[in-house]
Amino acid sequence: MAEFDLIERIRSRAPSRADVVLGIGDDAAVVRVPADRELVICTDTLNAGVHFPLHTAPFDIGWKALAVNLSDLAAMGAQPAWCTLSLSIPGDDPVWLDSFLDGFLALAGQHAIALIGGDTTRGPLSIGVTVHGLLEPGRALRRSGAQLGDDIWVSCTLGDAAAALVLMGKADAGAIAGGDTNASPLAELRERLDRPQPRVALGLGLVGVAHAAIDISDGLWSDLGHVCKASGLGAVLEVDALPASPALALGFDTTARRTLQASGGDDYELCFTAPAGARAQIEAIAVQTGTPVTRIGRMVAGTQVAGVDADDAPWVPERTGWVHFSD
The number of residues in the chain equals 327
Cα 77 to the chain's mean position, in Å?
13
Nearer to ligand ADP, 27 or 312 (CB): 27
* Angle CA 82–88–89, to nearest 5: 120
Nearer to ligand ADP, 100 or 315 (CB): 100
Q: Which does 10 bind (CB under 5 to 8 A by kind): ligand ADP, Mg ion, none?
A: ligand ADP
Q: How far is the CB of 171 from ligand ADP (least distance, A)?
A: 31
**Pairwise CA distance, residues 188 & 87, whole Å:** 29
Is 77 known as a binding-site position? no
Is 155 known as a binding-site position? no
Q: How far is the CB of 69 from ligand ADP (least distance, A)?
A: 14
Region 241-300 residues binding Mg ion, contact defined as CB under 5 A? none
Nearer to Mg ion, 119 or 283 (CB): 119
Q: How far is the CB of 87 from ligand ADP (least distance, A)?
A: 4
Please name the residue ranges forming H helices in the chain: 3-13, 58-76, 94-110, 160-167, 186-194, 200-206, 220-231, 246-251, 254-263, 279-289
Is 312 known as a binding-site position? no
Q: Which does 26 bind (CB under 5 to 8 A by kind): ligand ADP, Mg ion, none?
A: ligand ADP
Nearer to ligand ADP, 87 or 274 (CB): 87
Is 51 known as a binding-site position? yes
Tell me which residues touch ligand ADP (CB under 6 A).
7, 10, 24-27, 85, 87, 115, 117-120
Report which residue type is found at 279.
Answer: R
Is 92 known as a binding-site position? no
**Pairwise CA distance, residues 255 & 70, whole Å:** 32
**Pairwise CA distance, residues 288 & 277, whole Å:** 19
Choose, by CB under 5 A, the member of 34, 91, 112, 119 that binds Mg ion.
Answer: 119
With left for phi above 0 and alpha for psi between -120 and 50, is residue 176 left, alpha or beta?
beta
**Pairwise CA distance, residues 253 & 176, whole Å:** 10
Nearest to 196 by CA among 39, 29, 25, 74: 74
The answer to whether 152 and 275 have CB atoms below 8 angstroms apart is no
**Pairwise CA distance, residues 259 & 231, whole Å:** 25
Is 60 known as a binding-site position? no
Q: Which does 220 bind (CB under 5 to 8 A by kind): ligand ADP, Mg ion, none?
A: none
The answer to whether 104 and 57 have CB atoms below 8 angstroms apart is no
Nearer to ligand ADP, 80 or 118 (CB): 118
Q: Which does 85 bind (CB under 5 to 8 A by kind): Mg ion, ligand ADP, none?
A: ligand ADP
Nearer to Mg ion, 119 or 253 (CB): 119
Is 102 known as a binding-site position? no
Residue numbers in the known binding site for substrate are 51, 266, 322
Q: Which residues are annotated as a binding site for Mg(2+)?
A: 27, 43-44, 72, 119, 215, 218
Residues contributing to the site for Mg ion (CB under 5 A): 119
